[in-house]
């Protein structure tokens, strides 16, 4: 049977997409050093665990979905996912492999559980997806893993509640556990931590709240699922609401997980960066 081996989290700031190709020169740069120091343990874990599939829970920022048509929950069912120019100057990179069979199994499970998701047989993936995949599978190593994008709207209100995202993750977790193929699956939650890109509070960062979230996501995710979107916006900034992607990821893991790596760094661009490995109980 398929098995979820754990969850990985990271922020997905576009500036990182430009820094990744220059990582070797930037590891000694005072601005980037402590940021890049958070990733080697994740890369080592990925190499050791050899997941076959990465389910990437993130938010599209206007590349594939725009304000005219904004699904609350969208899931890819394509054989391949390409990225494209989003206007940040991030180089386009080779495409990502899909896993249509597992995608459809998850889609059927979600609809059966009364989630009215949007299934996408074509889907461009933006920095919310590509930056984390490049950070965890560097040097195009991501081309060896199959991927399933799940995009949760954090761009246009109303956004789904943390509780709803947690439940969606739980259904994804049960769907994987009932998939008959003997594969290892890792679930990514990307976005956050605290940041606000515009308005009066542009540049807002809340270290205390971020560290509380990184603590509770391990063994008390339900307390985070009880927050409202307004709580998240107030405490983490308008774009800090991206934390719902982490909550959905956590829903897909078994009840008990161990945090085997965690790194917090502020800021990159306008954002607090949190990186974690949550290993699922066997």
Task: Give the residues lining the site for ligand DHB (CB under 6 A).
Answer: 12-15, 61, 191, 195, 197, 239, 269-271
195 as an active site residue: the answer is yes
Of 53 and 241, which CB lies nearer to ligand DHB in the complex structure?
Answer: 241
Instruction: Give the residue nearest to ligand DHB (CB).
Output: 269
Contact (Cβ atoms closer than 8 angstroms) between residue 169 and residue 107: no
C-beta of 211: minimal distance to ligand DHB in Å?
18
Selection from 160, 143, 163 nearest residue 151 by Cα: 160
Catalytic residue among 12, 61, 105, 195: 195
157 as an active site residue: the answer is no
Q: Which residues contact 190 (CB under 8 A, 6 or more apart)?
A: 9, 10, 11, 12, 56, 57, 58, 128, 129, 131, 132, 242, 245
C-beta of 16: minimal distance to ligand DHB in Å?
9
C-beta of 15: minimal distance to ligand DHB in Å?
6
Quote the strand ranges of 72-145, DSSP E: 73-76, 80-81, 96-98, 118-120
Of 14 and 173, which CB lies nearer to ligand DHB in the complex structure?
Answer: 14
Of 99 and 126, which CB lies nearer to ligand DHB in the complex structure?
Answer: 126
Of 13 and 252, which CB lies nearer to ligand DHB in the complex structure?
Answer: 13
Selection from 244, 234, 225 nearest residue 206 by Cα: 234
Selection from 102, 113, 157, 127 nearest residue 16 by Cα: 127
C-beta of 277: minimal distance to ligand DHB in Å?
20
Of 152 and 175, which CB lies nearer to ligand DHB in the complex structure?
Answer: 152
Q: How many residues does the chain have?
A: 282
Residue 281 half-sphere exposure, CB side, CA atoms within 13 Å? 6
Catalytic residue among 12, 61, 127, 265: 127
> Residue 88 gets which letter from DSSP?
S
Q: Which residues does the annotation mark as catalytic?
A: 127, 195
């Amino acid at each position: 049977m398929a098995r979820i081996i754990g969850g990985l989290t990271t922020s997905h700031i576009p500036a990182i997409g430009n820094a990744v190709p220059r990582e070797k020169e930037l590891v000694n740069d005072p601005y980037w050093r402590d940021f890049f120091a958070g990733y080697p343990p994740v890369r080592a874990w990925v190499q050791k665990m050899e997941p076959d599939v990465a389910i990437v829970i993130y938010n599209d920022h206007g590349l594939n979905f725009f304000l005219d048509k904004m699904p609350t929950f969208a899931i890819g069912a394509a054989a391949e996912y390409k990225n494209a120019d989003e206007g940040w100057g991030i180089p386009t990179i080779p495409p990502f492999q899909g896993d249509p069979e597992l995608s459809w199994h998850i889609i059927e499970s979600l609809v059966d559980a009364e989630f009215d998701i949007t299934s996408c047989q074509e889907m461009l993936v933006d920095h919310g997806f590509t930056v984390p995949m490049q950070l965890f599978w560097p040097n195009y190593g991501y081309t060896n893993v199959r991927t399933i994008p799940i995009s949760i709207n954090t761009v246009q209100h109303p956004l789904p509640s943390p509780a709803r995202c947690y439940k969606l993750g739980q259904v994804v977790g049960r769907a994987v556990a009932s998939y008959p193929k003997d594969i290892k699956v890792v679930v990514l939650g990307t976005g956050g931590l605290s940041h606000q890109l515009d308005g009066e509070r542009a540049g807002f960062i809340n270290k205390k709240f971020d560290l509380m979230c990184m603590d509770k996501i391990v063994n008390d995710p339900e307390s985070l699922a009880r927050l409202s979107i307004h709580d998240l916006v107030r405490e983490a900034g308008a774009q800090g609401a991206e934390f719902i992607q982490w909550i959905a990821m956590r829903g897909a893991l078994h009840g008990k997980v161990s945090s085997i790596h965690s790194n917090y760094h502020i800021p990159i661009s306008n954002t607090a960066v949190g990186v974690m490995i949550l290993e699922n109980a066997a």
